[in-house]
Every structure is written in C-alpha cells, then in structure tokens.
Amino acid sequence: MAKKKLAEYRAKRDFEKTAEPAGKTAVRAAEYPRFVIQKHDATRLHYDLRLEVDGVFKSWALTKGPSLDPHDKRLAVEVEDHPLDYGDFEGTIPKGEYGGGTVMVWDRGFWMPEGNKPAAEQLRDGELKFVLAGHKLKGGWVLVRMKGDRYGGKRNNWLLIKHRDEWAKTGDADKLLKKDRSAASGRTLGQIARGEGKAPQSFMLAKSRTKLTKPDAVWHSDTAESEEQAPPRRARARKTA
Ligand code: MN
C-alpha cells in the first residue's frame, strides 16, 4: 500500500545524490499517529506539514508557515506523500536536486483527528479537524480544501487555520516562527547547513516517547460539540516548549 503511495516521492528524487530516506525503513505504529513540521530553506523558504495517515505522511507545503492566530488562514499546498522515516530527516539536500536546500525538524509530536470519521475520510471530504501535541504547536487546527479553479485545476490548495482555544494567540502573526531551533536537535538552520552539532534523535524509530504530550491532553474544551466528542481526559498538558 505505502509502496504505491510513495511512487511520486521516489520518482522525484535520486537517492544516490540526496541523503533523504528512500522510505525503505519499516516504521512501527505508535500509540498515536505522528506529525512533523520541517522548515525547508529551498528556492523559497517554506514549512512542510506532515501528518501520519495510513502508513505514510500526508504532506502540505505551508508557504508562510503556521500561525497561532485563528484569523490568519495559511495556504497549505498539498504535495506528494512522504515515507514515515522522513520524519527524522534533518540535513541538506544538494543544490540542483529536487527540493535542494536545508531541512530542519522544526516541530514534531503526536496528532489525532477530531470526531468519529477517520482522517483519510475527512481528507477526502476536504475538511480535517485535528489536534496537535507538539513542542511548538498545540491544540485544535483545521485543514480546509479550497474549491478547484473554474478551469478544472487540481484541487491541491488547502488552508490551515488555528482553532480558537487556549493555545490560540490573536495578533501573534509570525511570532511563532521566531522559535527557530530544531525540535529534534536544538540546532539552527545555519548549524544544520554547515553540518555542525549532533544529528537529531530519532522520533519515528524511538521505542519510548514518554516525554511527549498526548494529543487527548491538549483537546480544546471551548464548545459543547467538542466536549461531546472528546476522549477521556488525562492530565493537562504542560505549557513548556
Ligand atoms: Mn519542502
């Protein structure tokens, strides 16, 4: 299944030249699906949001990055599925290769869809409500697919919007993006580009993830509807980064 889904990912890359994973490493299921946001200093700086769904990372390029302000709807361009071991990739893709530039694991953690419909079904329907439990991003979010253009263009443009909850920050604009060290290695983009410092600790292959927040601990509780759908409560998430 994952093999077919990754055909486009593999076709775009020459694994003799790039250090990106070919997606051959088996990654076991975790207690929750995982997510990662990679800061990618390519031709144009952007952030790649990846959500684990059915054995691959569904992926979107955030041209301006995420915002904690529910008023800031951020363009999220759907791109090809990525292999799960891509979630540990931090390094530099050589110039001239696809996506050439430096990649930082900007945030990572667990996520879960809201409601009773599976994530894949919500994505097919063009609206995914979900909860993130990362280091930098927490709480409720929604991805909404924009209507296709009238010329029948591919409908791959989505909007990523922060849900109003205790982790939302009105007026925050891009302040969040100033948190600019790797969630995996603590390195800056410059340090990664120069090959300095330690490579990130594996998240996708790690056996123990006890230090991570569970997504049902950051479930927002501001509407009756979400109360209804909320899974059993656990301890409140700590607000540390
Ligand atoms: Mn990218």
Task: Assess whether pLDDT exceeds 80 at residue 232.
Answer: no
Mean pLDDT, residues 72-82: 96
Beta bridge partners of 157: 77
* Residue scoring higher pLDDT (206 or 187): 187
Task: Assess whether pLDDT exceeds 60 at residue 235.
Answer: no
Closest CA to 50 of 146, 119, 126: 119
Task: Assess whether pLDDT exceeds 60 at residue 94.
Answer: yes
Closest CA to 72 of 169, 182, 213: 169
- Band of pLDDT at residue 208, cut at 50, 70 and 90: low
238 CA to centre of ligand 1 in angstroms: 30
What pLDDT sits at residue 228? 40
96 CA to centre of ligand 1 in angstroms: 14
48 CA to centre of ligand 1 in angstroms: 5
- Band of pLDDT at residue 200, cut at 50, 70 and 90: confident
Task: Please give the backbone phi and psi of residue 34, each rounded to the nearest 5 degrees, phi first.
Answer: -100, 155
Beta bridge partners of 82: 57
Task: Assess whether pLDDT exceeds 50 at residue 226.
Answer: no
Mean pLDDT, residues 25-47: 93
What pLDDT sits at residue 157? 93
105 CA to centre of ligand 1 in angstroms: 12
Residue 124: which H helix or E strand, with range?
helix 119-124
The residues whose Cβ lies within 5 A of ligand 1, an ion, are 40, 48
- Band of pLDDT at residue 31, cut at 50, 70 and 90: confident
For residue range 128-180, list pLDDT tens digits in order: 999 999 999 999 999 999 986 556 666 799 999 999 999 999 998 888 999 99
101 CA to centre of ligand 1 in angstroms: 9
- Band of pLDDT at residue 209, cut at 50, 70 and 90: low
77 CA to centre of ligand 1 in angstroms: 10
Task: Assess whether pLDDT exceeds 80 at residue 234.
Answer: no
Instruction: Give all strands (DSSP E) within the chain, no chain letters.
Output: 34-41, 45-53, 56-62, 74-82, 91-93, 101-113, 127-134, 138-145, 157-162
- Report d(CA 24, CA 112) in Å as an integer: 25
DSSP 7-52: HHHHHT--TTT--S--S-S-----SS-EEEEEEEESSSEEEEEEEE
Task: Assess whether pLDDT exceeds 90 at residue 127.
Answer: yes
7 CA to centre of ligand 1 in angstroms: 17
pTM across the whole model:
0.86
214 CA to centre of ligand 1 in angstroms: 27
